[in-house]
């Protein structure tokens, strides 16, 4: 089974990030390998809904969580919809597939005091690498942008004069995020250090590695994990945790949910509403700790 035209569609028409396209491809390859091994199926037109169901059962029997299974189902739905539109199959086998239900997980966040400790007490070196690491972390938390959006930043996207950052999100959708005053001095220092370190005036990307190349996904992940590990013991210490922290902390302090939606670049308000649950959990904890009616009677 070939996925070449579908992958080109994801890259050049939907303009998805390389990371997302890679995830789609992995999901499809895993499914097709299973179907080839179990049913000797080699063409998309040979696949029926019961084949897909068998693969889903196989995944869940192997311990895969509903959320991960549903992501793979979403990948298959996109692929078969594409194949049907291009008349390479007559029937979409995904029409009879029902996604497994799973409990909703609240986003993992870092506490405000821990992030304050990171930016005020953890020393960053004064060289190019230290300035870059500090600015990278500050920007992820202060703007809530995604890792791919951070990696895609160009110098013209960061306008200190108008105090805003231009970000290109999923599907190439553009949005503007306010630039907080504390970042202005750090941006200036970083730009000066970058120019001195690499002896250039123009760069292909705003953020660079120690070797002067544009950032790549694992580089950003390792840096965030390294620094968050100094202030947090949470199991998850990824760039997306900083995005969750940004949105949750805004909501905790009474930010309008529609404003948070625009800052995050969400297509719908439903995706943003999960952060209200985090705030409610925080309020519930305060209530149960402090309100007389909520306290348990001591035995």
Catalytic residue annotation: 146, 170, 240, 243, 266, 275
Least Cα distance to 156 among 147, 166, 146 occurs for 166
Backbone angles phi, psi at 164, to 5 degrees: -150, 160
Q: How many Å apart are CA 135 and CA 243, to the nearest integer?
A: 15
Give the torsion through C-alpha atoms of 100, 103, 107, 111, to 10 deg.
Answer: -160
Q: How many Å apart are CA 137 and CA 294, to the nearest integer?
A: 39
User: Which tokens hold the place of 55?
Assistant: 């693969």
Question: Within 10 A of 33 (CB to CB), how many other CB atoms are there?
Answer: 12
Distance of CA 93 to the CA centre of its chain: 29
Radius of gyration for the chain, computed over Cα atoms and rounded to the nearest angstrom: 23
Decide: 6 and 47 in contact? Cβ < 8 Å: no
Decide: 187 and 135 in contact? Cβ < 8 Å: yes
Q: How many Å apart are CA 172 and CA 15, to the nearest integer?
A: 6
Question: Within 10 A of 53 (CB to CB), how many other CB atoms are there?
Answer: 14
Decide: 172 and 14 in contact? Cβ < 8 Å: no
Question: Within 10 A of 250 (CB to CB), how many other CB atoms are there?
Answer: 19
């Amino acid at each position: 089974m070939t996925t070449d035209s579908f992958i080109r569609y994801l890259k050049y028409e939907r303009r998805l990030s390389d990371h997302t396209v890679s995830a789609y491809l992995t999901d499809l390859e895993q499914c097709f390998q299973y179907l080839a091994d179990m049913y000797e199926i080699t063409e998309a037109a040979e696949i029926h809904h019961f084949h897909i169901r068998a693969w889903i059962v196989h995944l869940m029997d192997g311990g895969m969580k509903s959320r991960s299974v549903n992501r793979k189902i979403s990948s298959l739905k996109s692929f078969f919809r594409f194949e049907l539109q291009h008349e390479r199959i007559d029937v979409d086998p995904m029409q009879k597939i029902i996604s497994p239900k799973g409990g909703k997980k609240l986003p993992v966040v870092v506490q405000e005091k821990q992030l304050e400790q990171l930016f005020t007490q953890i020393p960053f070196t004064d060289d190019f690498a230290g300035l870059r690491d500090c600015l990278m972390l500050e920007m992820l938390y202060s703007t809530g942008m995604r890792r791919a959006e951070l990696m895609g930043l160009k110098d013209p996207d960061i306008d200190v004069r108008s105090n805003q950052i231009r970000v290109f999100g999923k599907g190439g959708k553009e949005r503007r995020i306010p630039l907080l005053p504390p970042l202005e001095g750090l941006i200036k220092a970083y730009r000066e250090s970058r120019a001195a370190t690499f002896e250039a005036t123009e760069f292909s990307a705003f953020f660079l590695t120690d070797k002067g190349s544009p950032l790549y996904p694992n580089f950003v992940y390792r840096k965030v994990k390294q620094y968050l590990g100094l202030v947090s013991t949470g199991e998850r210490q990824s760039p997306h945790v900083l995005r969750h922290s940004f949105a949750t902390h805004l909501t905790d302090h009474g930010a309008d949910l529609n404003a948070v939606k625009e800052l995050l670049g969400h297509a719908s308000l439903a995706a943003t509403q999960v952060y209200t649950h985090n705030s409610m959990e925080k309020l519930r904890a305060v209530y149960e700790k402090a309100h007389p009616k909520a306290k348990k009677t001591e035995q």
